[in-house]
A = this chain, B = another copy of it.
Amino acid sequence: MKLRRLVDRELPVASCPETCVGRTVTRSGKRTTIVDIARRAEVSISTVSRVLNGRPVSDEVLATRVRKAATELGYRPNVVARDFRRGVTSTIGVVVPDLANPFFPHVLKGLAEEVSAGDHRLLVVDSGEDAEQEPQLVAQLAGSCDGIILCSPRMPQSSLATLPALGVPIVCTNRSVGTLPFGNVGIDSAAGMRQAVAHLAELGHRHIGYLGGPGTSWSEGLRREGLRSAAADHGVRVSATEAGSTSDDGHAKLPGLLDKRVTAVIAFNDLVAIGALARLRELELDVPSQLSVVGFDDIPVAAFLGPPLTTVSLPKEELGRRAWAALHTQLQTGRAPSEELLPAALVVRQSTAAPAG
């Protein structure tokens, strides 16, 4: 009973007992339905439904009467009922590892625009970087979504392989999906990495340090690959260490690289670079005169750091937009579209310069 009253939106009704402008309930105290409209416009509910859904109606007089009644009664469709009848949820689920990582909100922004334009809602879930929890999260989401977008999923391939059984179209971003029937859109950070290395090599650096990201991450794999090939091409030496994806990681692991006597450091992302920069400040080492630093992502603060960070800019919003496009295609055609790789571009600011001496 309690529940039903809440459903009937008692709260605001109670707060304006008699004449309530904007009310969406009829005198029976329940929310307006197409039955109420049909009654008032003296047509069948079929006609109401057709008019309200913009389907062709011959009699414009009828249509007008319906629309008028709907407005007068303050009708707002019951979307749960509509979705139920249509057998859809109109909802797209997104799983991100960590909303607090500035990368993801930008992806979400691009995604949200497109998704709402396509008359869907976006259900965002933060997995807390927990690879174990992700499959459950996805399974749970599957029940209430028409499709799912997995942003840089941390779960292992074996977990990923269990997902098709859920029966929901899935798109992965920044992740290789093997032969799994998932849409797939990523950013070519290997190419971005090559640009970064080329830039440092041109400045004269011969020994570059790399503060690597989580070893299991696909984009980390791509970056390492770009690093290796570019290093070979330019004849520079590389010392890599596994750091992580946070500023704390960069702060903690930088000294190890310094010991190797590198003259430049590339970080897995801007957050890691920020940690490295902080450590360098503590060490009273100047950037870029004593050490060059390059980040990845180009998050908004990157341009405001001391010094402004040279970084590989990733098309985050575009990634979100393309992910929706891929999912949309899959929803329409039932087949997963082919893989897509978006370009990255180095943005040179002031944290890189020729090596000392």
- Name A's B-contacting residues (CB within 8 A): 2-16, 20-25, 31, 76-81, 83-84, 86-89, 99-100, 102, 105-106, 108-109, 112, 121-126, 142-144, 146, 162, 164-169, 181, 246-247, 251, 271, 274-275, 277-278, 281, 300-301, 303-308, 330-332, 334-336
Contacts and interface: CB of A to CB of B under 8 A. Distances in A.
Contacts of A335: 11
B22 A165 contact: yes
6 contacts: A6-B146, A11-B336, A84-B84, A99-B109, A251-B304, A274-B301
Given A87-B4, A247-B301, A277-B306, A9 B167 contact: yes
A10 B23 CA distance: 42
Given A9-B167, A306-B278, A125 B112 contact: yes
Contact of A164 (B12, B271, B330): B12
B144 A11 contact: no
A80 B77 contact: no
A11 B16 CA distance: 50
A310 to B, nearest CB: 15
Contacts of A24: 165-167
B88 A7 contact: yes
Contacts of A25: 167
Contact of A126 (B3, B109, B168, B246): B109
B6 A334 contact: yes
B144 A80 contact: yes
Contact of A247 (B165, B169, B300): B300
Contacts of A123: 121-123
A23 B76 contact: no
A118 to B, nearest CB: 14
Contacts of A306: 277-278, 281, 305-306
A81 B31 CA distance: 19
Report which residue of A6, A31, A303 has the largest number of chain B beta carbons within 10 angstroms of its beta carbon: A6
A164 B76 contact: no
B99 A105 contact: yes
A166 to B, nearest CB: 8
Nearest to A165: B22
A108 B99 contact: yes
Contact of A330 (B4, B11, B126, B304): B11
Contacts of A105: 99-100, 105
A9 B31 CA distance: 33
